[in-house]
Structure 1
Amino acid sequence: MARKMKVGIVGMGQGGTSIYKTLRSIEHVEIVVVCDCIESAKGMQFAQLDGVQTCVSVHDLAKVPGLDVIIEATGLDSIREQLEHNKEKSTAVIEAQGADLMMCIIEEKEKLADIKRVKGELDAILNSVQEAIEVASIDGMIKYVNPSFSRVTSINAGQRIGRNIFEVSPNGALARSLRTHEAVFAHRAVVGGADVEVIANASPIVVDGKMEGAVVVFQPLTDIYKLMEQLKASNQVISDLQTRINQISTSSYTFDDIIGSHPEFESALDLARKAARSNSTILITGESGTGKELFAHAIHGSSLRRDKPFIKVNCAAIPETLLESEFFGYEKGAFTGAVKTKLGKMELANGGTIFLDEIGDMNLYLQAKLLRVLQEMEFERVGGSQTINVDVRVIAATNRNLLEMAQKGDFRDDLFYRLNVVELRLPSLRNHKDDIPAYVHSLIAKFNRKFGKHVKGLTAQAEEILMQYDWPGNIRELQNVVERAMVTVDEEIITHKQILNLVDSSRTQHQEQIIEGIMPIEQMEKKMIRLALESYGDSVEGKKQAAKALKISLATLYNKLKVMS
C-alpha cells in the first residue's frame, strides 16, 4: 500500500478551508496539522472536529516532523519567509495556487484509478459469462470478443479483433444492428467464419446520445436444446411432485376423537393403541359404519409413521379394471391415454401407511400382487419393468367374513393370514347403546360449529327413540340422523317428533309408548336419575343436590345407581 502524503496548511480562512475540505477527501493525502493566528477561525474548528492538530504559530507548524508539503494559503511574503527559514529541508512549501494544481493532478489520478478498477471488474464479468460476446465500432470494426466467443466458434481473439463485421459476418445480428441502429432479438444465423448456428441478441452502444457501435450476445443452438431438455425434465419432476402432493394426506383423527365406554369397545380401543406402536399389518373388521376408517386414522396418528403419508384406498369404489393402476401406478405409454407416468397409491404411501378399505372386494389377481408387496415390499408399475421398493404399513378393513370367503375360494387364504396379524373387531352400535348419549353430545357440539347454531341437547323422549332404535347403519347412521335433525331444528332442544321422522319406525321398539309420551315406570325412573346427574354433576355434592331434587335420600340414590350400572 502506497504511503500517504503528509500535509500541513497555513491560513485557515476561506481559501485554506476550501483546500482543507478538498484534501481531506483524497485517499492518498493525510492532513497532519493546520495553522492560523485566529484560533476560532472556521477552518480551525473543522480541523479540531476531525481530530487534526492545530496551532497559532507558523514556527510551531514548521517544526512538526515528517511533513512532505506545507501549503501556504495566506498570500503573505512574511509567512512564506518564516516557513522557509524554519521548515525541514525535505519539506516543500507551495502557495495556494500551486496547491490547486496539485489537487487537480491528485483528483485526476484518483479518477484514473477508478476507471482502471471499473475496467478490471468489467473484464472479469465479460470473461466469466457463458454467452459469447462480440463488440464492433460504428464502422463495423471488431474491437472485442470474450473467451466464450472463442469457445463457441473456435475462432481466437487474434483472428477476430481488427476484422470488419460487414465482411466476416454480414448476415449476423451485430451487422444488422449496426445497419438499422436498432436492437435485434432472437436472430438465428450461422457465425461468419465458423460453422456454428446460434441464437443472438444485439443492441446499439449509445454514448451521449450518439451511436458509437453495437454489441452482440449469442448461444449455440445445441446449448439451447440442452436447456430445453433440462427444462422439460424439470417440469416432469415438478409435475410428478405436484401429483404426489395432491394425493398425499395425513391422518385426520386421533384416539382422543374416539368415544366409547362399553367393555367390548374399550377392549378394541386398547388393542388398537398397542398395535399402533408396532409396524404389524392390521385387519379391522366390523359392520359398515362402525368407525373402521376412524380407527385406521388414529392408529397411523399414534405410530412412528405419523409424520409420513396416510393413503386411503376404497377397493369397492374403484372399477376393477382400474384398481391395479391405482394401486401400483403406470408408465407413460402403458395403455391408450397414459400420456405420462403416474405414481400409484403404494408408491405414494412409501414410508407411511396405506389403508385398504373394503378389501374383501379386491379381485384375486390383484390380491396376488398385494401379497407380493406385503412379503417382499416391491412391485412394478403397469407397463413397467423396473422394480420399485417401498416401506409401507398396511391397515385393511372389511365388513365381510374373509375367513369364510377364503374357505370358498373367493379370497386368497395366504393373503388373509398375511393381513390378519392383528385383528381388530369393532362392535356394532346396537351392542353398545350406552355410548349413544356421549356420541350425540359430541355430534351436537360438532354440528353447532358447522351450522352456527346453539342446540343444547335433546328431550328425554328423543333420546329414548335413539336408544330403542337398532341402528343398522351404526355410528355413521347416527351421525346422519343427528346432522339432519340439526339442520331442521329451530329451537335449542331436539324433540322426539324431529327424530321420529328420521329413523325407520319398523326398527324402533315400544314406539307407540314413546309417541304418546308413556314409558315404563322403571325406565322413567332411570331417565330422571340420569337427567338429574347431568344437571348437577357426578361429584358427591352433585349427587346430594340430585337426590334433593328427586326428593329421595342420598343412600337411596346410590342404591338405584348400583342397580343401573
Structure 2
Amino acid sequence: MLNNRIKVAIIGIGDDAISVYNLLKNLKDIEVASFFNIYDEILPSNLLKENNIVFHNSLDKIFRINGLDIVINAVKDTKVEEKLKQIRGNVSIIETGSVNLMVRLFQEKQELLKIKGIQGELSTILNSIQEAVEVAGKDGVIKYLNPAFVRVTGIPAEERIGKNVLEASPDGALAMALRTGKNVFGHRTKVGGSNAEVISNASPIIIDGSLEGAVVVFQHFTDVMKLMDELKQRTSQIENLSDKFGQVTTCKYGFSDIIGESNELKKCMQLAEKSARSNTTVLLLGESGTGKELFAHAIHHVSSRREKPFIKVNCAAIPENLLESEFFGYAKGAFTGAVKSKIGKFELANGGTIFLDEIGDMNLALQGKLLRVLQEMEFEKVGGNQTIHVDVRVVAATNRNLREMIRNGNFREDLYYRLNVVEITIPPLRLRKDDLPELVDNLIVKLNRKLGKKVQGISKDAEEILYSYDWPGNVRELENVVERVMVTVDDEVLKKKHFVQHVSQFKALPEKDIDLMPIEQMEQLLIKKALSKFGNTVEGKRRAAQALNISLATLYNKLKKAKFENSNI
C-alpha cells in the first residue's frame, strides 16, 4: 500500500508551505516525505514532531529522493525555479501560483469548519431554551423554529417550516418586524394556526445595512402572567422584609447597667433575673423615671430569646385609633392610604420579646384583643382575614394604679391577671438614696464623654442637697439635673450653688431655720402630705407608708389615733 502512495516534497517552511502540508497530511494517498529549508529558517515545532518527515538544507538533495512524484514550490525565487527545471523523469512541479490556490482552499475549509462549529453550538442553545424561537427570511419564508415553538403552539415543525409568515401569522411580531424593519416588544397576539396566546419580542436581521430576515422570541401568555404573579409576591416579600429590618431592634442594656446597691433594688433585680429564665409575662410597676424600660431590656438580655427581636411599644405615645394597626399591622387596602400591607409589632417580635410601656393608657377595646393574643398567641391584621400565629414573650410596664383603674372600669381585670404573672415594683429614688453617689458618678463619666468635659465629682454640700431632695422624677430627673449642671459649668467639681438653681424644691426654700413645732404635729403634716400624694385608697396608704419608712399597720394606728379617718385627707 505504501508503494502506491504519492510521494511529495515541499520547498520552504513558511506559512504557505505549512498550510499546504496541513491540507495534505491527512490524505491517505499522499505521503509528504521531505521539506527543503533553503533559507535556514527556524523549523516549526509541529513539524519536528512528525518523525517520518526529512528536512534538507540543500536543494541539490531533491535529485536523490527515490520515487518522488510531486514537488510543491512554496517559495517565489528565480534561482529555485531554475534549479527545478533540471529535474528529470515523471516528477510534477507545482509552482507558487498553484500553491496560493491550495492555501486559499485550505483557509476556506478552515472557515467552513468554524462556521459549522458555531452552527452546532447555536443549534444546541436554541434547542435548550424554554422560549419559542422562529426565524424567517426577507421574503417571509420560515427557515427555522426550535422545539419550544412546537411545545408552546402545538404546531409540528414540518407544517410550519417553508410557509410564509406574512400569510400564516400576518398580525404576529415576526411579520411586523419584516414589514417595518424595526424591533417589536411585548406584542400580545395568537399564533396563526393555533389557539396559543403569546407575548412576543421580534427583531429584524440586518446585514451590511440590508434586511435579510427577522427573528421572534415568545412565551405563552399564561407563563408570563405566572412570572408576573411570582414577581409581585417576591416584591411584596422584599418590601415586608425591608420594613421588618428597619423596625426590628435588639436590647441595649443588661442587669449590669442597672446602678445601685440598695436592698430594695437588689430584690427587684433578683426577681427579674429569675423570671427572665422562663417565658412568664412580667408586669413592671413604678413611678415615672425609675427605670422600668431598663429592667425590660435586661430581662430580654438574659433570657433564651436574647438573639431574637426586642420590640418596644409606647402605648401612651400612639393615638388610640392607630394602636391596633401598630400592634397587629394592616392588610393592603384596609383603609384609604393603605397602598401596601404593614407588619405589626407583635409579628415583628415573633420569637422575641415585646415591651408594652405605659400599658395603663390602652383603651378597653384594644385590651380585649391584646388578651386574646396573650391567651392564644394569634391575631388578624386590620382589614385582613388570615390568622397569624406568633411566639412572643410580653413584658408590660406602667406608672398607674391598675387596681384602682379596674375598680373604676378603665382596665380589664382578666387582662390584669394575665399580665400580672410576675409583678416587679421598682422603688423610687427617694427610697434608695444610698444609691445616689454611685448613680451620680456613673452619670458624670457618661456625660464627660458626651459633652467633652473633665468633671471629677461633686462637693459634700452638693451631695447633701441631692440627699435632701425627694426626686419626684426619679433617676430620669437626676440625669436631667446633672446634665444641665454640667452643660452650664466649667468647674471640675460641682458645688451646691450649681445644683440649687436647677432643683425646684430648693428654689422655694427660704435660707432660714424651719419654725419649731411638736413632733406629733410634724408627723401629722408628713402623713397628710403622703396621703395627698399617693391617695387615700388601700394601695395609696401602702405606698404612703413605704415613703414614710413605716409599716402599713403603724400608719393605720397613727391615723386612728389622730382621728384622720373621719377627715377629708
TM-score by length of 2: 0.72
Question: Which AA in structure 2 matches 1:357?
Answer: D
Give the 3 Å change call, closer, same or farther, for CA 125–423 of structure 1 in structure 2: same
| Corresponding residue number in structure 2 for 1:552 | none
1:231 CA displacement: 2.5
State the SS of the aligned residue for 1:346.
helix
Name the structure 2 match of 1:538: none
- Tell me how far apart the structure 2 counterparts of residues 25 and 409 of structure 1 sit (CA, whole Å): 104
Which residue in the other structure is 1:263 paired with? Answer: 263
8 Å Cα contact 2:33-2:54 kept in structure 1: no
Is the partner of 2:360 in helix, strand or coil? helix
2 CA distance for matches of 1:465 and 1:150?
A: 93
Give matches, 1:112-511, under 5 Å: 112-335=112-335, 337-406=337-406, 410-506=410-506
CA distance in 1, matches of 2:320, 2:294: 25
- Which blocks of at least 5 consecutive residues in structure 1 are unaligned? 1-7, 54-60, 86-91, 514-565
Query: How far apart, CA to CA, are the structure 2 residues paired with 1:511 and 1:160?
Result: 110
Letter in 1 for 2:178: L
Deviation at residue 350 of structure 1 after TM alignment: 0.8
**Number of residue pairs matched?**
478
Deviations 1:506-540 (A, max 9, x none): 58889669xxxxxxxxxxxxxxxxxxxxxxxxxxx
How far did residue 203 of structure 1 move?
2.1
Partner of 1:203: helix, strand, or coil?
strand
Partner AA of 2:217 in structure 1: V
Residues 1:481 and 1:20: Cα distance change in structure 2 (over 3 Å): farther
Amino acid at match of 1:81: R
The answer (yes or no) to whether the contact 2:429–2:475 under 8 Å persists in 1 is: yes
User: Per the alignment, in what secondary structure is the counterpart of residue 143 of structure 1?
Assistant: strand
- Determine which of 47, 61, 64 is the counterpart of 1:81: 64
SS in 1 for 2:134: strand
Q: 1:415 to 1:105 in 2, by over 3 A?
A: same
CA distance in 1, matches of 2:430, 2:398: 19
Asked whether the 8 Å contact 1:284–1:398 carries over to 2, the reply is: yes
**Cα distance in 1 between the residues matched to 2:20 and 2:444:** 85
Distance 1:385-1:206 versus aligned 2 partners, 3 A rule: closer
1:527-538 superposed matches below 5 A: none
Asked whether the equivalents of residues 71 and 95 of structure 1 are also in contact (C-alpha less than 8 Å), the reply is: no
Please identify, of 117-126 and 186-195, the stretch whose mean Cα deviation from structure 2 is larger. 186-195
> Equivalent residue of 1:427, what SS?
coil
State the distance in 2 between where 1:508 and 1:474 align: 20
Partners of 1:448 and 1:455 within 8 A in 2: yes
Cα pair 2:355 2:394 within 8 Å, conserved: yes
CA distance in 1, matches of 2:464, 2:22: 96
Within 2, Cα distance between the matches of 1:362 and 1:437?
A: 37
After TM superposition, the structure 1 stretch with the greater mean CA deviation from structure 2, 313-322 or 487-496, is 487-496
Shift of 1:253: 1.6
The verdict on how the C-alpha distance between 1:35 and 1:200 changes in structure 2, with shifts beyond 3 A counting, is: closer
Cα drift, residue 52 of structure 1: 5.1
Contact 2:13-2:35 at 8 Å conserved across structures: no
Give the partner amino acid of 2:357: D
SS at match of 1:397: strand
- Distance in 2 between residues matched to 1:254 and 1:508, nearest whole Å: 39
Moved more, 333-342 or 254-263: 333-342
**Which residue does the alignment assign to 1:521?**
none
1:149–1:511 Cα change, 3 Å: farther
What's the CA shift for 1:406?
A: 4.2
Percent of counterpart pairs with the same letter? 56
Does the CA-based 8 Å contact 1:136-1:165 persist in structure 2? Answer: yes
- The CA deviation string for residues 97-140 of structure 1, in whole angstroms up to 9 with x for no partner, is 48988776665554433322221221122223333322222222
| 1:43 counterpart residue number | 42
- Which residue number corresponds to residue 529 of structure 1? none
Contact 1:505/1:511 (<8 A) preserved: no
- Aligned residue number for residue 16 of structure 1: 13
Deviation at 1:472, TM superposition (A): 0.3
- Can you give the 5+ residue segments of structure 2 that lack an aligned partner in the other structure? 1-6, 27-31, 75-93, 514-569
SS in 1 for 2:477: helix
Please identify, of 181-190 and 341-350, the stretch whose mean Cα deviation from structure 2 is larger.
Answer: 181-190
- Residue 354 of structure 1: CA displacement? 0.6
Contact 2:142-2:160 within 8 A present in 1 as well: yes
Structure 1 CA distance, aligned partners of 2:424 and 2:176? 80
Answer whether contact 2:34 2:55 (CA < 8 A) is retained.
no
Secondary structure of 2:13's partner? helix
Return closer, same or farther for 1:82/1:395 CA change in 2, 3 Å cut-off. same
SS, match of residue 216 in structure 1: strand
Native 8 Å contact 2:40 2:57 kept in 1: no
Once the two structures are TM-superposed, the CA of residue 391 in structure 1 deviates from its matched residue by 0.8
> Which residue of the partner structure matches residue 556 of structure 1?
none
For residues 16 and 191 of structure 1, the distance between their equivalents in structure 2, rounded to whole angstroms, comes to 60
CA separation of 1:83/1:417 partners in 2, compared to 1, >3 Å: closer, same or farther?
Answer: farther
Give the partner amino acid of 2:478. Answer: L
- Equivalent-residue separation in structure 1 for 2:40 and 2:505 (angstroms): 110
1:9 and 1:302 mapped to 2: Cα distance? Answer: 92
> Which region of structure 1 is more displaced relative to structure 2, 394-403 or 294-303?
394-403
Counterpart for residue 545 of structure 1: none
Secondary structure in structure 2 of the residue aligned to 1:466 = helix
Distance in 1, matches of 2:482 and 2:453, equals 13
How far 1:317 moved relative to its partner?
Answer: 2.4
CA distance in structure 1 between the aligned counterparts of 2:20 and 2:166, rounded to whole angstroms:
51
1:270-310: per-residue Cα shift (whole Å, max 9, x none)? 33233322222212111110010011112112221111111
- TM-score by length of structure 1 reads 0.72
Distance 1:35 1:416 in 2: 107
Q: Is the 8 A contact 1:183 1:203 kept in 2?
A: yes
1:193 and 1:288 map into 2 onto residues whose CA distance is 79
Secondary structure of the 1:16 match is coil
Amino acid at match of 2:314: N
Report if aligned partners of 2:35, 2:56 keep a CA contact under 8 Å in 1: no
What secondary structure, in the 3-state scheme, does the structure 2 residue paired with 1:155 have?
coil
CA distance in 2, matches of 1:413, 1:126: 72
Change (3 A) 1:255 1:17: farther
- Structure 1 residues 300-309 or 138-147, which shifts more? 138-147
The alignment's C-alpha RMSD in Å is: 3.9
TM-aligned CA distance change 1:215 to 1:431, over 3 Å: same
Q: Distance in 1 between matches of 2:507 and 2:374?
A: 42
Render the CA deviation track for 1:479-517: whole Å, top value 9, x for unaligned: 12222233333454544444223221358889669xxxx
Looking at structure 2, the residues matched to 24 and 260 of structure 1 have their Cα atoms a distance apart, in angstroms, of 98
1:260, distance to aligned residue in structure 2 (A): 1.2
Determine the C-alpha separation between the residues in 2 that align with 1:303 and 1:94.
95
